[in-house]
Amino acid sequence: MHNLILLGNGLLNVLSIQNLLVTGLGAILGLMVGAMPGIGSLAGVALLLPLTYKFNPTTAIIMLGALYYSNMYGGSFSAILLNIPGDSPAVMTTLDGYPMATVKKRPGQALYTSNLSSFIGGFIGIAILIFMGPALAEFGLKFGPVEMTALLLVAMTSIGWLVGDNPTKGVVLTLAGILVATVGMDTLTGSPRYDFGNVFLLGGIPFIPFVIGTVGFAQVMKLIDEKDVGTKTVVEGKMSLKGSLLSRHELRRLLPPAIRSGFMGTFVGVLPGAGATTGSFLGYAMQKGFKSEEPLGTGAIEGIAACEAANNAAAAGSFAPLLALGIPGSGTGAVLLGGLMMWGLNPGPLLFSSQPEFCWSLIASLMLANLLTLAIALGIIPWITRILSVPIKLMIPCITIVCIVGSYSSTNSLYGVIVMLISGVVGYLCEKNGYTTAPMLLSFVLAPLLESNMRKSFIISHGSISIFFTEPIACCFMIVLLAIIATPIIRGILSGKKR
Amino acid sequence: MYKKILTVVAVALLALPVFANGDSEQKTGGTFVPTQNIEWYCTSSPGGGSDIFTRTIQDIMTSEKLVNGQNIIIQYKTDGAGEVGRALVSTLKGTKADYTLLTFNSGDLMPMDKNTDRRFSDFQPIAHMAVDNHLIFVTPDSRFKSFKDVLAALQNGDNVVMAGSKGDDIACHAALIKELGVSADQFAFIANDSSGTAVTSILGNHVDLLICKPAAASQYVEAGRLIPILALASKRFPGNLQSAPILSELGYHDVEVPNWRSVVGSKNMSPEAVAYWTDVFKKVSQTSAWQDGYINKQKLVADYMDSVTFKTYGSKFEADYLASIGK
């Protein structure tokens, strides 16, 4: 009840004309930044931060919080319409979003699914933040390197669900993703690995250009390869508001995965270093364990809902350690933390008690941004889907430019463009030969996290593997892991006996 | 098919000029005055010590109108533990060299010297601004209540794990275990991407000790979440960190690996620009916003040096460090 009163005060603060304006502006900018591949919330918040220096801290954080939040919505636009994830959490959205928009020719519905799920996930995340923020942050602290390793091992086994019909090909690309992720500086000692004396390779393979190439540019090459593109469009016919809406049945399909992923995403958001990308991936992987009306990966509403709700919930969850402990849960959180110091506040465990007005205004602004972004996003969907009515022969150079600009802006150098082009060719060749690239992208995201946490765990245990079984949380995950691995083996043995 | 590929290549080539950097004259009458945006590279993550240092100076420069009304744009280049950003700045030429600054600390120099062929001489020293020292912390639930307990455990053959960030934290740990005469296996160190991650690991009691600079831990000390048990300096810290003894009070030599905070540019920066920037940083160091808003608040030691003095200081620091790692 006390929290609700404080939230009410926060809402009163946010509802001033000035703060409403900056929330709206932040929400619009966030949508734009999210939709532009390569920029992402980290760069978006960092770019806007200096402009907020002279604002009062509450107004400044409201604007940046709204930008961060709505960025999670925007990432799905280019993922669904162009098959180019606007930001790394949107990688999973491409799996079902793009097929639903193009193969099923329902881009409006795909975008509505994404944005409604983002709203539901965000709402759940913020609601949990309101009532359990500090407690959640303390819970997140229980996840040290040992617990994170065990959780990531479970997550890595679930990549198996994404490999498609041919597990061998899936495993090959999963290992390729791990190999590519090891290029660059050693995560613990800072020693170079596979850099061949090249300073750019020393920095590793940048994720955004790698994703834009593997998913987006490979798509361009596929379109080039298609015969007789002429005046053909990706989606034929006129798109209207009415034709873009979801039916009642589809809304009912959307709700369960969005709610489940909302809770799960919030939990992932509070874990140190996990972030919205891991949240989105785990949301999708979790949906694999539930029944979907259509198979995931073919344009299923459940697939879009699961990952989009999870990444927005994770973004909300990451505010818990930031506000309650002064610990950023993500790169964007770190920039916001830098902002707090710049505005003269002391981020840390005293922030909630010493600056309650600031903290509760931020939480209230997230609620408002969630609502505003939904309204803005839903309003523009019928117009934005018209991108797919552009003839393919014009789309090809346009998407190429988006890929180049996105890769360049994420790395600020031509190195990003080169990575994008090479990974585009590799991605195209993989898809052409029946290799699904999703496992490669996901192992690329998770491998550095797993490596770093596993090595830290072994330093803590002085090389003993028993630590994964003596720590209670880690032990629970290890039991789940063993169950996941053992289930098909036991099933195989049992079915063999029956025969 | 070939025509289509050619079209894509042509469009890609036409888009390249978007990324080209224009050159324009900026020197008037032999002196340098900035007439366009200034880029300032920071090779550490946003929110950390280097970022706060950079942003604080950026704000002082613009609010005190020290850069001719120009904008200062901060660029984060953290790839390759900052090596990509450092390589980029060191090789800039022409106008770009005069308009680009790089935040450069001893914590950046040590891994650079260790892992690459790049050296301090590949940069133009501009100004040395401050010095930062380390402390060791425990949580109230820790099995150690003081550093004497840590020493007793080590003498007893027990293992101790300490978390910290990279760069100078690693060097500080190396100097400490050398002074204590214990092995890196027994007194292990976990390097994290940032002090924030290291703080997280000790707050959850996943490690025994935390090493970090005062600014990163002060709030947690105030909130009673962390207790300082050792200052790696030649004298005790002030304020809420005062309770931490220095190593000489415990019967050892003091261990101090100061992290200096400074600014450099490309080695191709013109002498006019060097003179301009070193003077601007001197003016920054004399403002109350710097003294009170940064140095005192972050519990640092103010230590301004101009480009010439800093060049001598940095070169000697590097020579000593290279000798210590046998390079």
pLDDT at A409: 79
CB-based contact, A342 to chain B, within 8 Å: yes
Instruction: Of A78, A45, A423, A121, give the one whose Cα is nearest residue B46.
Output: A45
Three-class SS state of B139: coil
Range with the poorest average pLDDT among A286-300, B91-105, B259-273: A286-300
pLDDT at A390: 78
Identify which of A46, A192, A413 has the shortest CB distance to residue B115.
A192
Mean pLDDT, residues B121-131 taken together? 95
DSSP state of A413: S
Tokens matching residue A15: 């509802």
| Whether residue B42 has pLDDT greater than 60 | yes
Decide if B167 contacts B198 (C-beta within 8 A): no
Task: Select the residue from B1, B14, B77, B83 to test the A interface by mutation, using most A Cβ atoms within 10 A.
Answer: B83
User: Which residue did the predictor score with more confidence, A333 or B41?
Assistant: B41
Mean pLDDT, residues A200-225 taken together? 86
Mean pLDDT, residues B79-86 taken together? 80
Range with the poorest average pLDDT among A79-83, A96-100, B282-286, B288-292: A79-83
| Whether residue A8 has pLDDT greater than 70 | yes
Question: Which residues in chain A are closer than 8 Å to B223, comparing Cβ atoms?
Answer: 348-350
| Whether residue A22 has pLDDT greater than 80 | yes
Tokens matching residue B311: 């060049």
| Whether residue B163 has pLDDT greater than 70 | yes
| Whether residue A410 has pLDDT greater than 80 | no
Query: CA B44 to CA B148: how far, in whole Å?
Result: 34
Mean pLDDT of chain B: 87
Residue partners of A197: CB distance under 8 A and separation at least 6: none
pLDDT at B23: 42
* Phi, psi for residue B312 in degrees, rounded to 5: -65, -45
| Whether residue A402 has pLDDT greater than 90 | no
Question: Which residues in chain B are closer than 8 Å to A188, comparing Cβ atoms?
Answer: 190-191
ipTM confidence score: 0.78
pLDDT digits (tens, 9 = 90+) for B225-264: 999 999 999 999 888 899 999 999 999 999 998 889 999 9
Range ranked top by mean pLDDT from A75-79, B45-49, B118-122:
B118-122
Task: Select the residue from B13, B186, B203, B218 to test the A interface by mutation, using most A Cβ atoms within 10 A.
Answer: B203
Q: The tokens 């997280």 sit on which residue?
A: B200
Q: The tokens 């793009």 sit on which residue?
A: A98
| Whether residue A240 has pLDDT greater than 80 | no
pLDDT at B21: 43
pLDDT digits (tens, 9 = 90+) for A262-280: 999 999 888 877 778 888 8
- Which pLDDT band holds residue B114 (cuts at 50, 70, 90)? confident
Angle at which helix A414-432 crosses helix A218-225, to 10 degrees, equals 50
B109's enclosing H/E stretch is helix B106-115
Instruction: Of B45, B238, B219, B300, give the one whose Cα is nearest residue A355.
Output: B219
User: Which residue did the predictor score with more confidence, A334 or A361?
Assistant: A361
pLDDT digits (tens, 9 = 90+) for B179-229: 999 999 999 999 887 788 899 899 999 999 999 988 888 889 988 999 999
pLDDT at A239: 61
Nearest CA in chain B to A392: B4
Query: CA A333 to CA A355: how far, in whole Å?
Result: 18
- C-alpha count within 13 angstroms, C-beta hemisphere, residue A123: 14
Identify which of B12, B84, B185 has the shortest CB distance to residue A199.
B84
Nearest CA in chain B to A224: B4
pLDDT at A419: 94
Query: CA A265 to CA A276: how far, in whole Å?
Result: 8
B210's enclosing H/E stretch is strand B209-212
pLDDT digits (tens, 9 = 90+) for B4-31: 555 555 555 455 444 444 444 444 456 8
Nearest CA in chain A to B48: A338
Query: CA A266 to CA A260: how far, in whole Å?
Result: 10
Alpha-carbon gap: A198 to the closest alpha carbon of chain B (Å) = 10
Q: Is the dihedral of CA B142, B145, B148, B153 positive or negative?
A: negative
Tokens matching residue A257: 């995965």
Beta-bridge partner residues of B127: B263
Do B196 and A462 lie within an 8 Å CB cutoff? no
Instruction: Of A48, A62, A55, A41, give the one whose Cα is nearest residue A368.
Output: A62
User: Which residue did the predictor score with more confidence, A369 or A43?
Assistant: A369
- Which pLDDT band holds residue A177 (cuts at 50, 70, 90)? very high
Query: Which of A 43-102 lie inside 8 A of B, CB atoms?
Result: 46, 50, 53
pLDDT at A238: 62
User: Which residue did the predictor score with more confidence, A239 or A200?
Assistant: A200
pLDDT digits (tens, 9 = 90+) for A458-479: 999 989 999 999 999 999 999 9
Using CA atoms of B96, B97, B98, B102 in order, give the dihedral in degrees to the nearest 10: 110
Q: The pTM is what?
A: 0.80
Alpha-carbon gap: B64 to the closest alpha carbon of chain A (Å) = 14
pLDDT at B262: 96
Query: CA A467 to CA A457: how far, in whole Å?
Result: 8
* Phi, psi for residue B178 in degrees, rounded to 5: -65, -45
Alpha-carbon gap: A299 to the closest alpha carbon of chain B (Å) = 29
The CB density around residue A246, as the number of other CB atoms within 10 Å, is: 18
Per-residue burial over B295-324, b if 16 or more Cβ lie within 10 Å, else e, is bebbbbeebbbbbeebbebbeebbeebeee
Q: Is the dihedral of CA A91, A95, A96, A101 positive or negative?
A: positive
Mean pLDDT of chain A: 84
Do B204 and A42 lie within an 8 Å CB cutoff? no
Share of chain B above pLDDT 70, in %: 90
User: Which residue did the predictor score with more confidence, A468 or A184?
Assistant: A468
Residue type, A361: S
Decide if A315 contacts A333 (C-beta within 8 A): no
Instruction: Of B120, B110, B166, B134, give the one whose Cα is nearest residue B257.
Output: B134
pLDDT at B5: 53
Residue partners of A139: CB distance under 8 A and separation at least 6: A270
Alpha helices in A234-330 (DSSP H): 241-244, 248-270, 275-288, 301-317, 319-325
Query: CA B4 to CA A311: how far, in whole Å?
Result: 37
| Whether residue A241 has pLDDT greater than 80 | no
pLDDT at A457: 95
The CB density around residue B188, as the number of other CB atoms within 10 Å, is: 21
pLDDT digits (tens, 9 = 90+) for A78-98: 888 888 887 778 888 988 998
Range with the poorest average pLDDT among A132-141, A476-485, B198-207: A132-141
DSSP state of A346: -
Angle at which helix A57-82 crosses helix A107-141, to 10 degrees, equals 130
Do B207 and A460 lie within an 8 Å CB cutoff? yes
pLDDT at B10: 57
